[in-house]
Chain A
Amino acid sequence: MPKNVFPDFIELIKTKGKLFGPVKQKSKYSFEEISDVQDLDFDYQRTVLGVKKFLTPPRYKTLSFDKEGTKDIIDEPETNIVIGVHPCDIHAIKILDRLFLGNIIDPYYASKRENLTIIGHSCLPDDKCLCQSTGTDMVEDGFDLFLTELEEYYLVWVGSDKGLALTIAAGDLLSEDISDESIREYVRWQQKRSSMFKAVMPSFKYMADIITLNYDSEIWEQFGEKCLSCGTCSLVCPTCNCFNVDDKILMNAEEGFRERMLDSCTLPYYSMVAGDHDFRPDRTTRLKLYYTHKLKEYIGRWGQPGCVGCGRCVTYCPVDINVITVSEALFGEVCDTKEVCE
């Protein structure tokens, strides 16, 4: 797709559903509804919230009730299209899909997912992007369309029937004739991008073992001491999906609703049961759950970490507890004390 027809492409997409894309808001980016193609800004590394904003919103209603009874609140079919999604965030959606659309399908997630069309967009890393280390810098599926931005063209990958339908609708805006020069340019671009990653962590693939070896390490206490239990890491993590459920009654005391809200295992009372027994009363054990679940247990269960290397925790943790600092500290611990490195 030649770049000069991109605005036409956006206009076409907008006729198919409600369009969202990356928009600059002060120093941060966010997926917002797009009315004007000028609002789109693809020169970004990460939005504050990933695509989970659409799939497991921070707070949403699942049930309403009144004196007559209860009623499920499941989204009606509609089309939301989000454009500009980076490979790491597409991998994150695949991880959420696996959880919510696995053996037991979550109807609330399923309806939101069914309503969402995903148009990916290529990106260049900054010093916080570690997707190369997590193996999520490239993406082959999980999107409907994927746009790679070259000098004068977009290379458009079709990832689903929904995506194919969009390309058919786009008609002449897209061309199937790809010149050899475009292919060479694409390869050169990929090589350039691959060489730009600064946050390369060779230790990452051993993290499951390293965490097991370091389960009783003092490092956890040190991080626990620093942790503010604010839950920001979970809020911004594109694969953190834990939710709490709460019922609210309106002021008329006759009707109300049940809602889900994002929760975080780093928050106090996350593991408290009836009778006030708390299985994880301190910050250290909660932080340990966060990192063992994300970096060790996901590998055990699914063969890959629950981290997609988006760098959000690196950007937003106010006290620098993130996948890089934790992994490096644990890896260092193994190297220093157990002499297993090299």
Chain B
Amino acid sequence: MIDGKKSKIENTYKSHPVEILGIKDLTSDTRYFKVRFMDEEMKKQFVYKPGQFVIFSIPGLGEATFSISSPPTRRDFIEFGIRRVGSFTEAYFKLKEGDTFEMRGPYGNGFDMESLQGRDLIIIAGGLGAVPLRSALLYAEDRREDFNQVFFLNGARSPEDMLFREDFKAMAARGILDTRLSVDEDPTGEWPYEVGFVTALIPKLAEKINPENTTALICGPPIMYKFVIQELLKINVPKDQILMTLERRMKCGQGHCGHCAIGGRYTCLDGPIFTYYDVQHIKELI
């Protein structure tokens, strides 16, 4: 550069078109999208890990980050869960099957599932946290023999608020993963699973796991982390085996725009998965 060399640089900001294969409502304000790259080369090139994210682009509205919800073990499509919270997501609620939009990525470190082989996994999701963790969950189902015990604890405010409710019920019925579904409140009284905060499910695992061989994967609203971490520490899950996925404002996804800085780390490059050990002293974490 400085030596005056002219070189062709790949534009990492370039988005690629995808086609919508399927849409369904998950809750009153959250919708499921199944997409596929239009370009054959991108279909092959796009390899990702659970926990990674992409950036959607709508010319005129801008860009926004979304977590990938499908597992890398299923290669024919990519899935997302999108909650309607503003003008950008509102635009997605107007899209129909067969429509196209553009995205770029994947970004972030993601969960290194291969490094977790042979371990007990506790996957803990709260609310929208089920969207990114579903990728790790389905990976664990598809590659069940890679892991020792796998627990899935999922919390939602009420039965209607539970994302992928039917999928998770089916998952519980399949029994490949030890699935425990919890709602904070059950006004109907018909919820056949747990009622109460998801954190209350953690102590029940104390007798079942070998803490030294256990890794916890967590994603949920900011308020959830503190209590979940407390409970995990109580059952002796090592601090460096508590993997938390965090959300921050992002404009670039590649360490340039500065918005996602937490202390000296960029959520987009160093995260969004952080171990509790790594960030326990970073004050403004959650």
Contacts and interface: CB of A to CB of B under 8 A. Distances in A.
B249 A271 contact: yes
Interface string B1-41: 11110100111111100000000000000000000000000
Contacts of A247: 58-62
Contact of B89 (A241, A263, A274): A274
Contacts of A10: none
Contact of A293 (B249, B251, B261): B261
Contact of B59 (A100, A160, A256): A256
B259 interface: yes
A300 B282 CA distance: 13
Interface in B250-265: 251-252, 254-259, 261, 263-264
Contact residue range for chain B?
A: 35 or more
Contacts of A3: none
Interface string B52-89: 00000011111110000000000000000001011011
9 tightest Cβ-Cβ pairs between the two chains A and B: A297-B264, A242-B258, A65-B59, A104-B254, A162-B4, A107-B11, A275-B85, A274-B85, A247-B62
B1 A110 contact: yes
A160 B89 contact: no
Given A107-B10, A247-B62, 11 more contacts: A107-B11, A144-B2, A160-B4, A162-B4, A241-B256, A249-B60, A258-B62, A271-B248, A275-B83, A279-B249, A289-B284
A12 interface: no
A297 B263 contact: yes
Nearest to A292: B263
A80 B2 CA distance: 13
B85 A245 contact: no
The A interface is mostly helix, strand or loop, or mixed, namely mixed
A301 interface: yes
Contacts of B256: 99-100, 104, 106, 109, 241, 243
B3 A160 contact: yes
Contacts of A272: 249
A161 B2 CA distance: 8
Interface string A236-250: 000001111111010
15 contacts: A63-B59, A65-B60, A72-B13, A107-B10, A114-B1, A114-B6, A162-B4, A165-B4, A247-B58, A247-B62, A258-B59, A275-B83, A289-B261, A297-B261, A300-B264
Contacts of B248: 271, 273, 279
A274 B256 CA distance: 20
Interface of B: 1-4, 6, 9-15, 58-64, 83, 85-86, 88-89, 102, 222, 247-249, 251-252, 254-259, 261, 263-264, 283-284
The B interface is mostly helix, strand or loop, or mixed, namely loop
A270 B258 CA distance: 10
A77 B6 contact: yes
Contact of A274 (B2, B61, B64): B64
A101 B59 contact: no
B3 to A, nearest CB: 5
Contacts of A104: 12, 254-256
A256 B57 CA distance: 14
B247 A70 contact: no
A293 B262 CA distance: 9
Contact of B258 (A216, A258, A263): A263
Contacts of A160: 2-4
Contacts of B3: 160-162
A285 interface: yes
Most buried by A among B58, B62, B86, B256: B256
Interface of A: 62-63, 65, 70, 72, 74, 77, 97, 99-111, 113-114, 142, 144, 160-162, 165, 215-216, 241-247, 249, 256, 258, 263, 265, 270-277, 279-280, 285, 288-289, 292-293, 296-298, 300-301
A102 B9 CA distance: 13
A245 B257 contact: yes
A258 B62 CA distance: 7
A296 B59 contact: no
B240 to A, nearest CB: 19
A272 B2 CA distance: 37
A274 B86 contact: yes
B87 to A, nearest CB: 11
A144 B1 CA distance: 11
B255 A74 contact: no
Contacts of A63: 59
Contacts of A249: 60
A285 B251 CA distance: 20
Contacts of B263: 292, 297
A98 B3 CA distance: 15
A110 B249 contact: no
B264 A301 contact: yes
B255 A99 contact: yes
Most buried by B among A113, A277, A288: A277
Nearest to A247: B62
A62 B13 CA distance: 10
Most buried by A among B3, B4, B263: B4
A301 B263 CA distance: 11
A243 B2 contact: no
A257 to B, nearest CB: 9
A95 B222 CA distance: 33
A109 B58 CA distance: 23
Contacts of B251: 243-245, 263
A103 B255 CA distance: 10
Contacts of B62: 245-247, 258
Contacts of B102: 70
B60 to A, nearest CB: 5
